[in-house]
Amino acid sequence: MKRLLFIVALATMALFGRAEDLSSPNGKMKLTFELQDGVPVYQLSLNEHPIIKPSQLGLELKNTESLLNGFTLENAEKSTFDETWNPVWGESSSIRNNYNELAVTLKQTSSNRKILIRFRLFDDGLGFRYEFPQQENLNYFVVTKERSQFAMAGNHTAYWIPGDYDTQEYDYTISKLSEIRALMKKATTPNASQTPISATAVQTALMMKTDDGYYINLHEAALKDYSCMHLELNDKNLVFVSVLTPDAVGNMAYMQTPCTTPWRTVIASDKAADILMSNITLNLNDPCTYESTDWIKPVKYIGVWWEMITGKSSWSYTNLPSVKLGETDYSQTKPNGTHAANTQHVKDYIDFASEHGFDAVLVEGWNEGWEDWFGMSKDYVFDFVTPYPDFDVAVLRDYAKSKNVKLMMHHETSGSVRNYERHLDTAYQFMEDNGYNSVKSGYVGDIIPRGEYHYGQWMVNHYLYAVKKAADHKIMVNAHEAVRPTGLCRTYPNLIGNESSRGTEYEAFGGNNVNHTTILPFTRLIGGPMDYTPGIFETHVNVHNPDNNSQVRTTLARQLALYVTMYSPLQMAADLPEVYQQHMDAFQFIKDVAIDWDKTFVLEAEPGDYITYARKAKGNDKWFVGKTNDEEARTSEISFDFLPADQKYIATVYADSKDADWLINPQAYEIKKYVVSNKSELKQFCAPGGGYAISIVPVQDKAELKGLKKL
């Protein structure tokens, strides 16, 4: 690791209108900051092309003068930073963190209060945040509004979901900024009880494309002890302003100096691939806080989840409501016969995982309380340690250990967060005692205490509390229905996954848009990995449940590609073992594909249309390629120039057949093998809703080349 730090202290000033300029390390991106009549204003350009037009900054506080205006510039400091760091897991084994920084200290004359705005300018974008030094006239304070503006330079095409304080589980809409208001009412809502927070508010990460081919992404980084940010669009002048998630009484954040806000991020490039390859979100987070990380391991897993999501099996042991948690006499109840989390059934999954080299088996519905949960009596439902009568914890613990497989815990909080926190120490100790080293936590439903939101400061603090507490027990966390990621996995790498978006489960609830997985890497995944749960080979859900006529909007080949395009160190083979048994040739790719990477390249990309990644597995010379395609049939053209020179490889291509189509022929695929080198090129058909996956393995013996065609 090398680090260069040069600080140039500028003379203290008290001038209005003084402009401070900052360039990115390569000189292509430029930031200008100034006070205009005492109001902080910044603007950003790339290649002299406007990315953010002059935009105001500041905050409103409760029962006191706002921090919006009346400022003088007290000090400005510039510095340069350059380091290379190594993530515990990730898309690359090393990440460069190189930026130029401008820190401006502003003094509000009327209140004698100070605020520092820190800008970090990278080659691919900008991060800025507010910092509040400890001071006599600003100690405890309450933020009622944050007024950070992002003024757009045109009526860009946006890839958006509605602003919502509780969920990101929406299909994306693609429209011009000026069309958001008209289309907001038509946006697909997760359920009838959830509605957008306003007619023009959208969620981050927000992806946009300008008419002249620039790509812009707005998000936040290092969200801690603050509420999640949305963006409200003034569609008259095309200016976004930050909107924070309120608490139960309408306040946005409770602060005590010294303190900071999260970073607000702007990623920009004239190439879509650069958005996907940006590490700004991670780089704006603190380094790993743990001294030892050898207990944090990427996980490839299977589980009973999909059979319950489709309705084939049930979470609950019985259909009758329990009387009192932990005291129900199940000997007096009749099992429903569809409970998936029973000892023998889980043993079968353990056997399948062991046979095919999977790390873990996730078991949901193992613990008492699901009868109450489905009855919506959610005040105290789960204790996270009491199994149903047909789930033998000790037997399965020992059986999994004998097969060299881990069991993955499931904690559904049902939104009863205080209940979860009361049980957390006991629940994590129970996991540790029984060999569980990872947990999928869920936060379905309205938050209790009532009035709090999933994305408010109170819940943001809870999610991090659970992750830190898990680390005490060397447990990894995969949080579902939690706040969207903002790069905290750098600091707390046991946060190995999140959902926080519309995942594969919605394919069993009516379907996701066909282009969904061509947008998510540009939006949701900017903040961190997603537990998308791919690998669905049987796309007709009624095969598992005759009463469910949903269809997964994908081809089989694209399901393979998602293991490469939807980055996560936590990857599930989500379909049923009996389905995989019918397609073992295609299933081989899921067995082979890596989940941790040394290098990553984007070969093709256009948001909403297609994405093609190439990745090198960590610690060996195997490569994997994946392409996800939208609803339009197209031919992909890629070069293998990412491969090292003077080395031959065998490429196994798993692709759509010519007659494949997500709607009428989703399981039509073909598998071909070729000899490739870094001079090879491939033209490959992609069906509507399709794609392809390639495993690339170095040639060890010339005999392996016999009968194979060269590309």
Residues carrying an active site annotation: 505
Query: In terms of residues, how long is the chain?
Result: 711
The single-letter code of the amino acid at 151 is A
DSSP alpha helix (H) spans, 553-702: 556-565, 577-580, 584-592
How far lies 513's CA from each of 167, 516, 531, 550, in Å? Answer: 17, 5, 18, 13
**φ, ψ for residue 316, nearest 5 deg:** -90, 150
H/E stretch holding 133: none
Q: What is the Cα–Cα distance from 37 to 26, expressed in whole angstroms?
A: 32
Find how far residue 514's CA is from the centre of its chain: 19
What letter does residue 587 receive in the DSSP assignment? H
Contact 308, 365 (CB under 8 A): yes
Q: Using CA atoms, how far apart are residues 600 and 146, in angstroms rounded to an integer?
A: 36
CB 598 within 8 A of CB 616: yes
Q: Is the peptide bond before 321 cis (omega within 30 degrees of 0)?
A: no
Q: What is the largest CA-CA distance in the chain?
A: 82
510: left (phi over 0), alpha (psi -120 to 50) or beta: left
Distance CA 413, CA 247 (A): 20
Rounded Cα gap, residues 537 and 558, in angstroms: 10
Strand (E) or helix (H) holding 600:
strand 597-606
State the Rg of the chain over Cα.
26
As a dihedral over the C-alpha atoms of residue 414, residue 415, residue 417, residue 418, rounded to 10 degrees, the angle is -80
303: nearest Cα among 445, 504, 466, 472: 504
SS (H, E, C) 60-89: EECCCCCECCCEEEEEEEEEEEEEEECCCC
Give the CA count within 13 Å in the CB-facing half-sphere of 394.
1
CA distance 685 to 654: 11
* 3-class DSSP assignment, residue 113: strand
Cα gap 533→91, rounded to integer Å: 18
Tell me if 497 sits within 8 A of 441, measured CB to CB: no
The answer for residues whose C-beta is within 8 angstroms of residue 545's C-beta and 6 or more apart is: 310, 311, 312
Smallest CA-to-CA distance from 408 within 382, 383, 381, 441 is with 441
| Closest C-alpha among 516, 507, 625 to residue 172 | 516
Phi-psi region at 136: left, alpha or beta (left = phi > 0; alpha = psi -120 to 50): alpha
Smallest CA-to-CA distance from 285 within 95, 136, 18, 145 is with 95
Contact criterion met (CB below 8 Å) for 666 and 699:
no
682 and 711 Cβ atoms separated by less than 8 Å: yes
In angstroms, rounded to a whole number, what is the distance separating the alpha carbons of residues 547 and 685? 35
709: number of Cβ within 10 Å: 8
